[in-house]
Amino acid sequence: MSVPDSLRTVVAVAVYWTAIALGGSVLLPDPTSPLAAVPILGGGAVVAHAARTGRLVELGYAVGTMWLAVLALSVGTGVVDVFVLPAGEIAPLAGYPGVAAIGTVGLFGVLLVAYAAFARRTAARDADE
């Protein structure tokens, strides 16, 4: 049984947009913060561009790259908390508004840069063929 391309595109768009919204807002202490608009609206714009231009595969790689950045932030925070800070002192990144804002915008920036790089790489590869 074959799945229509339009259904496949709709599912991919929903999955990627959800992954961007969740990953981009992971550092926000309050999910109703106005800063949540960056990954939600920005992610929607990037997903719409990818769907319109046929670059959903490249967007998938970019979303994976953004989640690797989320993982690196989590591991880095844990290492700093265990090895650098005094014993018993826990300092979550999301507790600081400045760090949450920089992190949210930074994660969205990682997504944009990765998407542009993967799209450029695919365009160069297609031009060589």
Who has greater pLDDT, 95 or 80? Answer: 80
pLDDT over threshold 70, residue 71: yes
Q: Which residue has the tokens 């600081």?
A: 96
pLDDT digits (tens, 9 = 90+) for 41-70: 999 999 999 999 999 999 999 999 999 999
| Mean pLDDT score across all residues of the chain | 87
Residue 41 in tokens: 């609206």
55 C-beta neighbours (distance < 10 Å), count: 19
pLDDT over threshold 90, residue 79: no
